A and B are shown apart, each in its own frame.
Chain A
Amino acid sequence: MLDIINVSLLLMMIVTALAIARLRSLFAVAMLTGLFSLLAACVFVLLDAVDVAFTEAAVGAGMTTVLFLATLGLTRSREKVTPKDRAIPAMLVAGSCGAVLIYALSGLPEFGAADTPVHQHPITEKYLVTSIDETHIPNTVTTLLASYRGFDTLGEVVVIFTAGMVVLMLLGRCAREREPDQDARAKD
C-alpha cells in the first residue's frame, strides 16, 4: 500500500516538474512549484519526517509561492522563448548533471536500511533515549534544535533576521523614495 502511495507521489512530482519545464506562463509555473513542494511535503510525511514536512508545506508551498507571485507582479509574467541553438548545450549540461546524480545514488545505502551509520552511531541512542530523561520533552526534534543545538539555532534566527533586513534595505527604501516620484508623474 505504502509503495503505491510513494510511487504515485513521485510520479506526480515528475509530471509537475516536466510541466514546469514546458510551461511559458510564469504564474502557472509559480503555482506548480507550490504544488511540487506540497507533494514533497507528503513524501516527507510518509518518511516520518513530520517536522520537515511541516516546514516544506509552510515555506515551500505557502511563502515561496506568494513571493513568486508578488515578484511576477513586478516583472513580466511570460518566459522569453529560448533560442533553438541553445537547446543542445542545455541538454548536455542537464544530462551530465543528471548522470552524475544517478551515479552518486549507487553509493547511498539501500532505502530503509538499518545498518547505516545514522542508526548505529551511539549518539542516536543518546538523543532518542536519554533526551526524554534529561528534558521531559517528547519531540526529539525540538529538543535537538532548541536545547542540544541551541547555539546553532540562534545562528539560524540571526541569518533569517539579517536576510530580511538586507531585502528591506534593497527593496524597502527604494519603494519609499519612489513614492513621491510616481505621485508627481501621475499629476503630469
Chain B
Amino acid sequence: MALQHDQVVLRIVTKLLAPLIMVFGLYVQFHGDFGPGGGFQAGVIFASAVILYGLVFGLDAARAVIPPRTLRLLAPLGVLLYAGTGVLTLLLGENFLSYNAIDPAHPAKGQHYGILAVELGVGITVASVMMLLFFAFAGRGKVKA
C-alpha cells in the first residue's frame, strides 16, 4: 500500500499534517466538556493521523510508530479506566459513576475530573480499536505494504 517514492507532495503534506491532526485530536479529547467533541471523536481523529501516515509511508512505518502489540494492551485499558472510575466512586461510598464522590466538597470539580477520566478511557479504546482495525484490514492485503 506504500506509495512510490516520487509522491513528494503527498509525503511532505502528510509529514506536515500528521502532528497537527494529533494535536487537534488531543484538543478535542480534553476540550470536549467546553466545545463539541469528546472521547469518541478524539479517538477517531487521533487514529486517523496514524492511518494517514500508514497509507503514505507504508504499514511497517506506521507499525513502528505504534506497534499493534501495544494497541492490543491499550484497547482494554481504556475500558478499564472507564469502569475503574465507576469502581472508584463506589469505593468512595457513592453510586457507580457518580463523580460527585471524587471531590465531595466541590461536586462540580468532582464531575469535571470524573468526566475527564471517563472520556480519556473512551478515547484510548476508540483510537486503539480504530488503528487495530486498519492494521488488520490493510495488513492482509494482496498488495504487500
Cβ < 8 Å to A, chain B residues 14-60: 28, 32-38, 40-41, 44-45, 47-48, 51, 55
- Residue A129 is within 8 A (CB to CB) of chain B in the complex: no
| Contact between A164 and B36, CB atoms less than 8 A apart | no
- Residue A136 is within 8 A (CB to CB) of chain B in the complex: yes
- Residue B61 is within 8 A (CB to CB) of chain A in the complex: no
Residues 64-82 of chain B: 1 if any A CB is under 8 Å from the residue's CB, otherwise 0?
0000000010011011001
Count residues of A near B (Cβ-Cβ below 8 Å).
45
The one of A63, A73, A171, A175 in contact with B130, judged by C-beta atoms closer than 8 angstroms, is: A63
Provide the residues of chain B in CB contact with A74, threshold 8 Å: 137, 140-142
With A58-B45, A134-B107, A168-B132 known as contacts, the answer to whether A146 contacts B137 (CB < 8 A) is no
| Contact between A54 and B37, CB atoms less than 8 A apart | yes
| Contact between B136 and A161, CB atoms less than 8 A apart | no
| A142 shortest CB reach to chain B, Å | 5
Nearest B residue (CB) for A146? B115
Provide the residues of chain A in CB contact with B86, threshold 8 Å: 150-151, 154
- Residue A157 is within 8 A (CB to CB) of chain B in the complex: yes
Provide the residues of chain A in CB contact with B105, threshold 8 Å: none
The one of A55, A138, A143, A164 in contact with B115, judged by C-beta atoms closer than 8 angstroms, is: A143
| Contact between A154 and B108, CB atoms less than 8 A apart | no
- Residue A14 is within 8 A (CB to CB) of chain B in the complex: no
Q: Bound state CA distance, A71 and B139, in angstroms?
A: 11
With A63-B130, A147-B111, A157-B79 known as contacts, the answer to whether A73 contacts B36 (CB < 8 A) is no
| Contact between B47 and A63, CB atoms less than 8 A apart | yes
Q: Bound state CA distance, A154 and B78, in angstroms?
A: 10
Provide the residues of chain B in CB contact with A66, threshold 8 Å: 48, 51, 55, 134
- Residue A87 is within 8 A (CB to CB) of chain B in the complex: no
Cβ < 8 Å to B, chain A residues 151-178: 151, 153-154, 157-158, 160-161, 163-165, 167-168, 171-172, 174-175, 178
The one of A58, A67, A139, A142 in contact with B133, judged by C-beta atoms closer than 8 angstroms, is: A67
Having A63-B44, A154-B86, A175-B136, one finds 9 other A-B pairs with CB under 8 Å, namely A70-B141, A134-B108, A139-B32, A143-B33, A146-B114, A146-B115, A147-B97, A150-B86, A175-B139
Q: List 28 A-B contacts (CB under 8 A).
A: A50-B36, A51-B36, A54-B36, A54-B41, A55-B44, A63-B44, A66-B51, A70-B137, A73-B142, A74-B137, A74-B141, A134-B111, A136-B108, A137-B33, A137-B111, A138-B33, A139-B34, A139-B36, A142-B32, A143-B111, A143-B115, A146-B115, A154-B79, A154-B97, A157-B121, A158-B79, A160-B125, A160-B129
Identify the B interface with A (CB < 8 A).
Answer: 1, 28, 32-38, 40-41, 44-45, 47-48, 51, 55, 72, 75-76, 78-79, 82-83, 86, 96-97, 99, 107-108, 111-112, 114-115, 118-119, 121-122, 125-126, 128-130, 132-134, 136-143
